[in-house]
Structures are given as structure tokens and as C-alpha cells.
């Protein structure tokens, strides 16, 4: 069977990882990536053998930098079966008319509002809804982490309510412009943060509210979760449940910080030290007064990447069974090892 042709529009933190993850699959291929500037990321994309497409106005700059251009972004979109839009939040939506005109399927990221398209996506919770769909939004990194924990708990024990506080990393490691460098910033002041409502775009029946604070760190986000379940269970039951999930990693071995998790990723030899799984601190899982508590860390640069691969498989009808798609993606990327 011919491989599905995937174009990655926007080759930054998420886009470059999505391109590499797609390239590892045997049922899809990267037919091009887009870059606006001939910077180091464009140089690496060329070294990796990706065809680079650019805005018409950037062609001269790429020629001056000695970087070969395969065509314009519009030409890339024409050649694709599906575009993964990884442009910055609120820019992606401006590309919608382009995708509609080309008659190409598209996936947006969590920086876009839920109104960009009717379907928001998480591979474990609502893969079926995206089956054959033309437009899908993969929810944000924190929302993805929340869905991965809440969905199995709800399936097994029923979730009465979720209360979560998110300590957000302020910027990504390569981001030299974002602050704060010495403050904790309420993000936003007025509750809830977007994460609780975003979980409801996937699981509308979940009673959830969220608060978020930006902290001066780049490694990972950290969630403090409190969940009231409908059925009784022990902390060990929850640990076993999490252990059985394909994209949750129980963290122990003396690790008590996001910095050590990233070091763990480095020691595991993972590409870009990516921790694609939600990292639940094993010893934090506890039941108190009938309510569940735990900490989980989310590697914002990578956790949504396998979700994009599964979204492609669902939208392109390559696989009906979400668990089979997740297993295939995980195996190709080395997730769970
Ligand atoms: N960085 C993160 O932690 C996460 C980001 N997201 C979401 O993923 C999306 C992308 O975010 P990042 O990768 O962090 O952004 P980024 O800023 O690292 O990368 C965006 C790339 O798109 C390029 N670009 C800008 N305008 C463009 C256009 N009109 N056409 C083509 N390319 C264009 C930029 O030059 C840059 O290379 C956003 O919606 C964001 O909210 C989701 C999960 C985590
Ligand atoms: O999707 C993310 O966070 P979110 O789940 O808090 O919206 C990413 O970390 C991007 O966040 P940013 O908007 O601070 O770059």
C-alpha cells in the first residue's frame, strides 16, 4: 500500500519532532517541511534529507544561505494527503483556507482554540471520533497529559471530579525570548486555565477545573492532581492501572524533580532527551480520605508528538483500532522502553 504523504507546516519545537516521528513509521512518509528562515533548524532539516518548502518571499534568503528549496509552501500542501500544522498558536488557524482550497486534510496543535475545527483529539480517549475526519486539533501538551491519566481512571473507577494545579514551564530550552526569569506568573489570573475546559472537548462529562502558574524553568510542566473517584480503590490499584497504560511512565529510582527526569531521558539515549510519556511520580500516588492524589510531569516538547502520528492514522483510515495504532507508533518511536 502507498504510504500516506504528510507535510509538516512549521518546523519548530513540535514540527521537527513530528517530522522525525512520521519518518519512523512504515505507513506514512514526510513529503516536505516548511521553513520561513534559513536558520540552523533549516540546515539540520536539509541534512536529514527533508525537502524544504518556503514562502515565495523567503526563496532569495535560502538561496543566499546555500540551502536548496523544493518549492513554495502552497506547492508542498498540493502534494500532501495531510498537513500537520505546527506553526505558532493562532497562526495555524490562518492557514485553514489554504488547506480547504487544496482539499487536503489538516491537523492543528493545542495553541489553536477549540473552534479551529469540531474535533479535538487524544489517542486513548477519542481516536474513533477522528476516524476519516478532515480536520482535527491535537490538544495541548498539558491537556494531553491530563487526558492520559483521567481517561483510564474514568473507565475503571468513574471520575466524580478533578482538581488540578499546573506549574507551567515558562519557555522551551531553545527559546531565548520568553520569561519570566524571576517570578511566578498566574497564567491566567482568572480561573480556570484553558486546560480543564480543553479536557472537556474530549471528555465532556468530566467535572474538572484547573489553575496554572508559569515558573522560570524550561524542562517540563508539573501537575498536582486531586481526583475524586466514584468507586473505592487503593493507591496500588492506581499504580497498576497507570503501569498498564501505553503512554504513562511511573517514575521512581530516587527521582524527585523534572530536572532528573530529563537527565533520565538523556541517560536512556532518547532523541533530544524526549520523554513522550506522562511521567507519574510513583511514590506520590496516594489515597487520602477517599480521594486520589499524585504528581505528574509533562515533557511539553514531545508528549503530543505520538498523538499527531495516531491522529494521522485515524484521519487517513490506516487503522481502526486505537490501541493498535498507539502500539505501532510507540514501537517505531521507542516509547515505553
Ligand atoms: N512548545 C511546546 O511546548 C508545545 C507547543 N504546542 C503547540 O504547537 C504549536 C507549535 O508550537 P511550537 O513548535 O512550540 O512553536 P515554535 O515557535 O517552536 O515553531 C513554530 C515554527 O513555525 C514557523 N512559522 C511561523 N509562521 C509560519 C507560517 N506562516 N508558515 C510556516 N511556518 C511558520 C516558525 O518560524 C517556527 O519555525 C503551537 O500551537 C503550540 O501551542 C503544543 C504542545 C507543546
Ligand atoms: O501546549 C503547551 O502548554 P499548555 O498545555 O499549558 O497550553 C505548550 O507548553 C506550549 O505552551 P506555550 O504557549 O507557553 O508555548
DSSP assignment of 143-184, as one string?
HHHHHHHHHHHHHHH-EEEEEEEEEEESS-TT-SS---SS--
d(CA 29, CA 23): 6
Residues 31 and 53: beta-carbon distance below 8 Å: no
- Which residue, by CA, sits nearest to atom 42 of ligand 1? 140
Residues 145 and 114 in one domain: no
What pLDDT is recorded for position 236?
Answer: 98
Domains identified in the chain, total number: 2
What pLDDT is recorded for position 36?
Answer: 97
Residues 329 and 274 in one domain: no
Residues 22 and 148 in one domain: no
Is the pLDDT assigned to residue 219 strictly greater than 90?
Answer: yes
Pocket test for ligand 2, best of 139, 144, 300 (most atoms within 8 A of CB): 300
What pLDDT is recorded for position 1?
Answer: 84
Residues 149 and 128 in one domain: no
Pocket of ligand 1 (CB under 6 A): 9-15, 34, 36, 86-89, 91-92, 109-112, 140-141, 172, 300-301, 304
The pLDDT tens digits of the residues spanning 22-46 come to 999 999 999 999 999 999 999 999 9
Residues whose CB is less than 8 angstroms from the CB of residue 299 and which lie 6 or more positions away in sequence, other chains included = 141, 219, 220, 261, 262, 265, 274, 275, 276, 279
What pLDDT is recorded for position 336?
Answer: 87
The pLDDT tens digits of the residues spanning 53-87 come to 999 999 999 999 999 999 999 999 999 999 999 99
What pLDDT is recorded for position 203?
Answer: 98
Residues whose CB is less than 8 angstroms from the CB of residue 326 and which lie 6 or more positions away in sequence, other chains included = 123, 124, 246, 247, 306, 310
Helix and strand element counts for the chain (H, E): 12, 16
Residues 160 and 109 in one domain: no
Residues 306 and 123: beta-carbon distance below 8 Å: yes
The pLDDT tens digits of the residues spanning 281-292 come to 999 999 999 999
Is the pLDDT assigned to residue 198 strictly greater than 90?
Answer: yes
Residues 124 and 152 in one domain: no
Q: Which domain holds residue 150?
A: 141-298
The pLDDT tens digits of the residues spanning 271-310 come to 999 999 999 999 999 999 999 999 999 999 999 999 999 9
Say what angle helices 235-243 and 141-157 make with each other, to 10 degrees.
120
What distance in angstroms lies between residue 187's CA and the mean position of ligand 1's atoms? 19
What pLDDT is recorded for position 312?
Answer: 99
d(CA 67, CA 105): 28
Beta bridge partners of 105: 82
Residues 70 and 12 in one domain: yes
What b-and-e string marks burial along 83-101, b requiring 16 or more CB atoms within 10 Å of the CB? bbbbbeeeebbebbebbee
Distance in angstroms between the alpha carbons of the first and the last residue of the chain: 29
Ligand in closest contact with the CA of 55: 1
DSSP 193: P
For position 293, which CATH number holds? Answer: 3.30.360.10
For position 125, which CATH number holds? Answer: 3.40.50.720
The pLDDT tens digits of the residues spanning 221-232 come to 999 999 999 999
Residue 276 Cα distances to 14, 19, 238, 324, angstroms: 12, 15, 20, 18
**Interface pTM, i.e. ipTM:** 0.98
Residue 54 Cα distances to 74, 167, 313, angstroms: 9, 36, 26
What pLDDT is recorded for position 299?
Answer: 98
DSSP assignment of 225-283, as one string?
EEEEESS---HHHHHHHHHTSTTEEEE-TT--SHHHHHHHHHHTT-GGG---SEEEEGG
- The reply to whether ligand 2 has any atom less than 6 angstroms from the CB of 210 is no
Residues 314 and 199 in one domain: no
Question: What's the rounded mean pLDDT across residues 171-196?
Answer: 97
How much is the mean pLDDT over the chain?
Answer: 98
Element (H, E) at 124: helix 123-126
Residue length of the chain: 337
pLDDT cut 90: percent of the chain above it: 99
Residues whose CB is less than 8 angstroms from the CB of residue 214 and which lie 6 or more positions away in sequence, other chains included = 168, 169, 170, 180, 184, 185, 187
What pLDDT is recorded for position 175?
Answer: 96
Residues 264 and 119 in one domain: no
Residues 159 and 294 in one domain: yes
Pocket test for ligand 2, best of 12, 86, 111, 120 (most atoms within 8 A of CB): 111
Residue carrying C-alpha cell 497564567:
187
Residues 160 and 293 in one domain: yes
Residues 244 and 284 in one domain: yes
What pLDDT is recorded for position 337?
Answer: 79
d(CA 334, CA 337): 6
Catalytic residue list contains 117: no
Amino acid at each position: 500500500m502507498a504510504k500516506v504523504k504528510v507535510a509538516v507546516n512549521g518546523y519548530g519545537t513540535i514540527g521537527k519532532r513530528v517530522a522525525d516521528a512520521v519518518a519512523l513509521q512504515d505507513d506514512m512518509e514526510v513529503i516536505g517541511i516548511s521553513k520561513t528562515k534559513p536558520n540552523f533548524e533549516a540546515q539540520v532539516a536539509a541534512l536529514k534529507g527533508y525537502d524544504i518548502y518556503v514562502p515565495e518571499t523567503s526563496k532569495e534568503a535560502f538561496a543566499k544561505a546555500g540551502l536548496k528549496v523544493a518549492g513554495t509552501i502552497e506547492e508542498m500542501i498540493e502534494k500532501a494527503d495531510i498537513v500537520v500544522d505546527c506553526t505558532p498558536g493562532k497562526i495555524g488557524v490562518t492557514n485553514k483556507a489554504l488547506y480547504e482550497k487544496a482539499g487536503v486534510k489538516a491537523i492543528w496543535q493545542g495553541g489553536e482554540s477549540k473552534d479551529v475545527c469540531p474535533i479535538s483529539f487524544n489517542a486513548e480517549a477519542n481516536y474513533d471520533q477522528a476516524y476519516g475526519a478532515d480536520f482535527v486539533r491535537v490538544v495541548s501538551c498539558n491537556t494531553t497529559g491530563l487526558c492520559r491519566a483521567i481517561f483510564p481512571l474514568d473507565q475503571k473507577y468513574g471520575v466524580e471530579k478533578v482538581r488540578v494545579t499546573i506549574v507551567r514551564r515558562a519557555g522551551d530550552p531553545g527559546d531565548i525570548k520568553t520569561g519570566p526569569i524571576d517570578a511566578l506568573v498566574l497564567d491566567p489570573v482568572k480561573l480556570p486555565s484553558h486546560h480543564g475546559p480543553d479536557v472537556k472537548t474530549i471528555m465532556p462529562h468530566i467535572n474538572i477545573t484547573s489553575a496554572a502558574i508559569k515558573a522560570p524553568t524550561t524542562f517540563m510542566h508539573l501537575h498536582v492532581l486531586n481526583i475524586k473517584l466514584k468507586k473505592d480503590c487503593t493507591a496500588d490499584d492506581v499504580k497498576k492501572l497507570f503501569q498498564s497504560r501505553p503512554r504513562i511512565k511511573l517514575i521512581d529510582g530516587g527521582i524527585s524533580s523534572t530536572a532528573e527526569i530529563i537527565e533520565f531521558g538523556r541517560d536512556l539515549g532518547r532523541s533530544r532527551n524526549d520523554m513522550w510519556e506522562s511521567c507519574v511520580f510513583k511514590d506520590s500516588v496516594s489515597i487520602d480520605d477517599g480521594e486520589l492524589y499524585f504528581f505528574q510531569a509533562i515533557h511539553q516538547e514531545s508528549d503530543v508528538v505520538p498523538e499527531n502520528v495516531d491522529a494521522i492514522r485515524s484521519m487517513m483510515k490506516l487503522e481502526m483500532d486505537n490501541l493498535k495504532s498507539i502500539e505501532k507508533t510507540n514501537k517505531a518511536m521507542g516509547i515505553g522502553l
